[in-house]
Amino acid sequence: MLRSFRDPTRPNEDGFTMIELLVVTVIFGLLAAIAIPTFLSQRDKAEDAGAKTTVSLAATAAQSYHVDKETYAGMDVTALREIEPSLAQEPGTSLAVSGTGRDTYLLDVTSKAGNHFTWSESDGVVTRSCTSGGSGRCPEGRSW
């Protein structure tokens, strides 16, 4: 049995050659070069979708605030979080409230990808817009 391990006429099949290892490494590198940008793009889309969800939840909470107070004046992030507690738990987004008045408000959510998604209402007319400040997705018309 020991002789079979040391027989010089038997070809050496103990492992891989350097060329084989190099080819496999190049193939893995090419696959990673294709997959990583695709993954990052999908991650930014998901972060933007989370920001849109947050601003929509905040708008629903703003409507509830208006039903209770009959005005948007005095509405702030804390008041919205009291109405909708999940607004405090959304990671990766920041919510800002501005322009509050009797019948107007502006909600601005910034996604982790760097895009701003706004929801404003003035006299019952809702406007949704976004800015493409990061690498996520904002439609060309800047309205979502």
In a domain, 136, yes or no: no
pLDDT of residue 29: 94
Q: What are phi and psi of 68, to 5 degrees?
A: -75, -45
What are the tens digits of pLDDT across the range 86-119?
888 867 678 999 989 999 999 999 888 888 899 9
Q: Compute how many other C-beta atoms are within 10 angstroms of the C-beta atom of residue 109.
A: 26
Bridge partners of residue 126, in order along the sequence: 121
Distance, in Å, from the CA atom of 144 to the CA atom of 140, rounded to the nearest integer, reads 9
pTM of the complete model: 0.71
In a domain, 86, yes or no: yes
CB-based burial label for 74 (10 Å; 0-12, 13-18, 19+): exposed
Query: What is the domain count for the chain?
Result: 1
* Full residue range of the structural domain in which residue 106 is found: 18-131
In a domain, 2, yes or no: no
In a domain, 62, yes or no: yes
HSE, side-chain direction, 13 A CA sphere, residue 8: 0
Residue 14 in this model has a pLDDT that exceeds 80 = no
Closest CA to 121 of 50, 63, 53: 63
